[in-house]
Amino acid sequence: MRYCGRNFSTAELTAIRNLIKDNPAFNRAQLSRIVCDIFNWRLRNGNLKDMSCRVAMLRMQDDGLIQLPTPLTAITTASRIDAAHDRQNQNFNRIETQRWLTH
């Protein structure tokens, strides 16, 4: 199976499943770093391809090949947009307050 530009063999998928099963306390970030290290999945500069691995494992889960642990935080796109909107409103309110005080 091919994910994020890398082919994963049946043996590698089994190894990922076993890693998850044998380490139930590990979070997704820990698992992805270990998977990168085991399979020597690295960037040209030698750093682990951690984010690519996380995306690959999410897609493997979506395809029913593995079951990842529950995310530590439930940050969604909607909550990021809400947070950005709140910051924008705070900045606008601060500017309007400054403008009002100077007049």
Alpha-carbon distance of 13 to 7, in angstroms, equals 10
Output the pLDDT for position 82. Answer: 65
Question: Mind listing the pLDDT tens digit for each residue in 58-92?
Answer: 999 999 999 999 988 765 666 666 666 666 666 55
In the chain, % of residues over pLDDT 90: 68
Cα angle for residues 23, 26, 27 (degrees, 5° grid): 145
* Amino acid, single-letter form, for residue 36: C
* Exposure letters 3-42 (e unless 16+ CB within 10 A, then b): bbeeebeeeeeeebeebbeeeeebebeebbebbbeebebe
Structure tokens at 45: 């500069």
Q: Which residue has the tokens 């029913």?
A: 64
Q: What angle do CA 25, 29, 33 make, to 5 degrees?
A: 105
Domain map (residue ranges) of the chain? 1-72, 73-103
Quote the longest CA-to-CA distance of the chain. 71
